[in-house]
Each structure stands twice: as C-alpha cells, then as structure tokens.
Structure 1
Amino acid sequence: MGLFSNKISIDNLKPGDHIYSWRNAYIYSHHGIYIGDGKVIHFTRGGGLETGTGTFLDKFIVSSIPNHGGDNPCPNCGKQSDLGGVISSCLDCFIAGGDLFLFDYGVSPAIFMSKLRGGTCTTATSDPPDQVISRAKSLLSRNGFGDYHVFENNCEDFAMYCKTSLVVGKSYVLGRSGQANSVSAAACVARMLSPWASNAIRLFSDIGMRNDAVKVPVEKFLAKES
C-alpha cells in the first residue's frame, strides 16, 4: 500500500476488484470493476457527450473513453470511442497504455488521511465479490447509472456503488468519490492554507464515514433510474 496509489499486476487481479488507471500525467484516474476473464465493467463519458462541468476539466475526461477507435478498433471490444454510460471493455482498453492500480476498502482513518490525494481508498468496507460482480452486471445490462458528470456522477462513484451499494440519503446522491472530494478540499485549502484541513474534509466526506450513507439494492437503484 503506497501513499500515492496501489499498483497491482494483472496476474494478481481477482474478480470483484475495484481497479483504476491514471490518465494525463496523473491528473485524472479512470475506475472500474474487474469481473474476470480479462474484462472490466466501467462507467464512461462517450465521445461528444457533455460532462456538465463547463470547466477545463472537460477536455481531460475524454481519457475515460477506451483508447481504441478510428481505423484501429480493438479486436476484442470493437470500436467503443462513441459509447457512453456503463460498458464492458478488455483490460488493455481500460488501462489505455497506463499502469493498473487497486482501490483499497476498509482502510483506517489514519491510512486514509496519509494518502497524498483522493481517489485511491475508502474507509467503507466492500461487499463479497459475487455481490459486487452481480451489481456491476445488472447496471451494465440496463446501462443504469445516469449521465456522466465529473463531480456528481463519475466512474469512481460507479465502482464504489458496485463494491458497497452505498448511496447518500433518500435521494440516492452520488458524487462522493475521492477525486471529487479532493477538488472540494483543494478549494478549502486555498482559503485556509491548511493541508490538514484538506485531509480532514476528504475524510469526513468519505462515504464510509457519513452518517447519511445507506445501502440500496441494485434493483431499487435501477427502478429509480428508469
């Protein structure tokens, strides 16, 4: 377990793992659920779709799209560059030429706060792998995770829901990913000039620490999305 992120080899992957790969010089990471047989289910913004941020971040989020396309589609996945929502890709397309990392669950608050940035771990505990995979496949079959938004509904939110079935409150709010919380924390630090404050904000925003986080079965979640 590293302070920055947790690199893992493909040979050590297990079905049900929450994995991610950094993109664009560690500006952004893309997350998904490994389901075995070299396949990953993940939530992506397709080409031409709006993220709704209206900021410079929009140009980076295209990195969540599988990198094969044009005249050289992946022989396993085909052309996925125009797809959006919940999709299944091979590991090569998911990694997109980068390295592979394992997202940690059930970490202590001390370990969580020692991380140099968000989006690598949570204090929440994971459900058993068979439940994680079943949840991911259900969301894939219905493309049932709403519209992609970098702050409010992103790939990390998708993977964390698959792993835990946790949402925030009766309105099923997502957008509690480590990356999104890091942006909020950074804004606070700019005002308070306190790195400790940044880590504290990330910790108490983590879905594993929130008193209003509740488990919602995927069937109920999909019923609300439809």
Structure 2
Amino acid sequence: MGNTHRTPRDNIQPGDHIYTWKAAFIYAHHGIYVGGNKVIHFTAPENASSGWIISSSSSSSSSSSSSSSSYPQPGNRVSICSLDGFIGSGSLYIYKYDVTKVDFFFKLRDGTMTIAPSDPPQDVIDRAYYLLEHGFGEYNLLTNNCEDFALYCKTGLLVPTGGSGQVWGFNIGMRGDAIKVKVEDVHLYK
C-alpha cells in the first residue's frame, strides 16, 4: 500500500486528521483540520514561536469554543493556525482510520494510519476546540505528542499510563490499555 495518503487541499473535510512531513521526511507533524482553512495542533515548546500560532479573533469557532480568550492559554501547546502555516513548504497528507489489520501491518511508515475507527466529525472538532482552550498536558516526543493529540481528537482513546498511542508501532486500535475518555477528563490522564 505504501504512503499513498497524499491529498489535494480540496479533498480534506472538517474533522480530518492531517499531517505533513518535516525535515526531509524525518518526522511528521499532525493536526486536526477544523474547517475555514484552520488546523488545531499540539506543538513542542521549541515550535511555539514558529509562526504557527494565531489568535482566536481570526479563527472560526465551533459550538464548544465560545470563550473569547486568546489561544493558546499560557503553558498550553495546543494552537490553531492556517492550513498554509501548518503545511509550510511540505505536502498535505490524510491520516487513515478504520483500516484493515493487513493494510496496517504492510504500511511502509508508522504514523499514517490506524485500525481504530474515527468518531463523527463534529465530535472530533469539538474535542480539538476544547483542548485548544484547556490544553493536552505537557508535550513529550515519546509519550504525548502531536500524533497522540490528533488520535485522541479523532477517537477519544487515551492510554491511561501516559504512554503514546502509536509510538513504537503499537496501534491505538489494538492496544488493550487504551480507554475512551471524555474530553473534560483528559487532564486526569495527562
């Protein structure tokens, strides 16, 4: 199957988990497309000044983001940016959900698909906006990263031990320790 997830911008829909490869395909950066040319994503502290962050005054909001405060809150690494700002000079890819085990095991690179099914798009968007305001814990490349953020927004699944849902090839959809967590309770696991 390979990495066939590259997609034109007009193919993405609000609630899609998107990603772009950074640093010559060394790593991918993940986020949730929320519509209106905006992406909510979780960044490492060193990326906070990368130009990705915009204020809420220029973003569209969902029903769960009625607060008028600016984003992100102090210490919160969840931010919102334009689709162009998210992609940068890279290409746009869509993360696949509810794939077969065969497709998952024969993929060429980790971080492009999961066997876990996605929740409805509005649930995904509402989670992303909630976490934009309330945070997703401390960023950690191995245990709490941008892919974990996007996977949680799409599925509502977390690993209670704080481990990454995908790192080392442990697919969130096959992990026996992944549990469904209401967005209001994420802070209990982060």
**TM-score, with structure 2 as normaliser:** 0.83
Residue 222 of structure 1 is aligned with which of 158, 162, 187?
187
The structure with the largest helix share of the pair is 1
Give 5+ residue unaligned stretches, structure 2.
Answer: 53-57, 60-71
Q: After the TM superposition, which parts of structure 1 deviate over 4 Å for at least 4 consecutive aligned residues?
A: none
Report sequence identity in percent.
46
Shift of 1:66: 7.0
Is residue 163 from structure 1 mapped to residue 157 from structure 2 by the alignment?
Answer: no
Shift of 1:176: 2.0
Residue 210 of structure 1 is aligned with which of 169, 175, 178?
175
Shift of 1:84: 6.0
> What residue in structure 2 maps to residue 34 of structure 1?
33
Is residue 14 from structure 1 mapped to residue 13 from structure 2 by the alignment?
Answer: yes
**TM-score, with structure 1 as normaliser:** 0.70
Structure 2 residue matching 1:131: 3-state secondary structure: helix
Is residue 145 from structure 1 mapped to residue 144 from structure 2 by the alignment?
Answer: no
Shift of 1:96: 1.3
Q: How many Å separate the matches in 1 of 2:49 and 2:91?
A: 14
Residue 133 of structure 1 is aligned with which of 114, 125, 130?
125
Shift of 1:221: 1.3
Shift of 1:174: 3.8
1:100-139 Cα deviation digits (max 9, x unpaired): 0000000011000111110000010000000000000000
Shift of 1:67: 4.5
Give 5+ residue unaligned stretches, structure 1.
Answer: 48-61, 70-75, 182-201
Structure 1 residue matching 2:185: 3-state secondary structure: helix
Q: In structure 2, what residue type is equivalent to 1:88?
A: I
1:166-194 Cα deviation digits (max 9, x unpaired): 0124x4x24122xx31xxxxxxxxxxxxx
Residue 99 of structure 1 is aligned with which of 85, 91, 101?
91
- Higher-Rg structure is 1
Shift of 1:224: 5.3
Structural RMSD (CA): 2.3
> What residue in structure 1 maps to residue 164 of structure 2?
175
Change beyond 3 A, Cα 1:223–1:175: closer
CA contact (8 A) 2:41 2:78 kept: yes
Instruction: Report the count of equivalent residues.
Output: 172
Shift of 1:150: 0.9
Q: How many Å separate the matches in 1 of 2:3 and 2:49?
A: 24
Q: How many Å separate the matches in 2 of 1:152 and 1:107?
A: 24
